[in-house]
Amino acid sequence: MKVSIFTVDAFTDHPFSGNPAAVVPLLQPLQEELMQKLAGEMNLSETAYVSPVGEEAAKEEPWVRCSRFSLRWFSPTTEVPLCGHATLATAHVLFNELGNCRTHVEFETLSGVLVARKDSDNIVLDFPANTPVPLTPHQDTQLGPLLRVATDGLQVQQMMLSHTTKKLLVRLHHSCTRKHLENLRIDSGSFLNLHDGSLVKGIIYTLHGGLHVSNAQITAPDSPQYHCLSRYFAPWNGIPEDPVTGSTHTVLGPYWSKELGITTLKCRQCSPRGGDLLVTVRGDGRVDLAGRATTIIQGYLTLTPPIKSG
């Protein structure tokens, strides 16, 4: 069996930055076990599997004409319910590599139907907002050992939890700078010994980026300031540090929108690779995540059944 595969750097417009994802377009199903093994082989934070669905899927040129697709995301160790950068990478492959003629496409996923649309040079993802809430006293006690080592000695201003995504938001104290965030040294493997992943599967560290509310509409890509800075670690999903993460911004967007009193935020994830997102918090429980992507590798996988011994 021979299938196409692409690797795409998402939330960036130039190679070797942003967040890489593998995209596997499928016209016939793969066994779930094989999908997981392939994701482990790729060893990227996510591998996306996309297939056309509906009446158009049975017609000629389904990749070109179809407007609705199924989409699943796998980390190296497990299937995940939501992944922004791999969704952006998938939409990029459909629009720019497979010649899809639609202005927007819909994805059937574990998080419901997600929409990706073309908007000038960006692709905009329509995602559910995952607003974080304060920790309860019981949760604070339960996560105590993890929280004591998770900040590398930096002061913390606030901690919140998104129950839907199991992401812990750690807002560093206002005395911390972008340099502090970028220099944060995390032994994410130690997190696995301190928490079993039942409540938290990823930790977001965030700071206000210095862009003032009066400049809320400044969206120039070369501007040095941002409304929101972050880094993200998810060893419970096999990801020591995720370079640029769409799903974390479904948490960060609602949080910083409320804190700053604005609805459009220019965001920077400050991993060594780094990437930019424009996040718009809507009034209907949804967020728009806008970004760019670039294809790095295109090729084929040849999947043969194992040779049985004896």
Going residue by residue through the chain, which has 310 residues, state the pLDDT in tens, using 9 for 90 and above.
Answer: 889 999 999 999 999 999 999 999 999 999 999 999 999 999 998 999 999 998 888 889 999 999 999 999 999 999 998 899 999 999 999 999 999 999 999 999 998 999 999 998 899 999 999 999 999 999 999 998 898 888 888 999 999 999 999 999 999 999 999 999 999 988 888 899 999 999 999 999 999 998 866 544 444 444 468 999 999 999 998 889 999 999 999 999 999 999 999 999 999 999 999 999 999 999 999 999 999 999 999 999 888 765 555 4
164 within 8 A of 130, measured Cβ to Cβ: yes
CATH topology for 133-281 is: Diaminopimelate Epimerase; Chain A, domain 1 (3.10.310)
The domain ranges of the chain are: 2-128+293-302, 133-281
Instruction: State how far the alpha carbon of 3 is from the alpha carbons of 23, 59, 68, in Å.
Output: 11, 19, 20
User: What is the Cα–Cα distance from 275 to 11, expressed in whole angstroms?
Assistant: 5
Active site residue 241: no
User: What is the Cα–Cα distance from 64 to 102, expressed in whole angstroms?
Assistant: 8
| Nearest alpha-carbon partner for 47 in 116, 93, 95 | 93
Active-site position among 33, 46, 60, 79: 46
Count of alpha carbons within 13 angstroms of residue 208, beta-carbon side? 16
Superfamily of domain 2-128+293-302: Diaminopimelate Epimerase; Chain A, domain 1 (3.10.310.10)
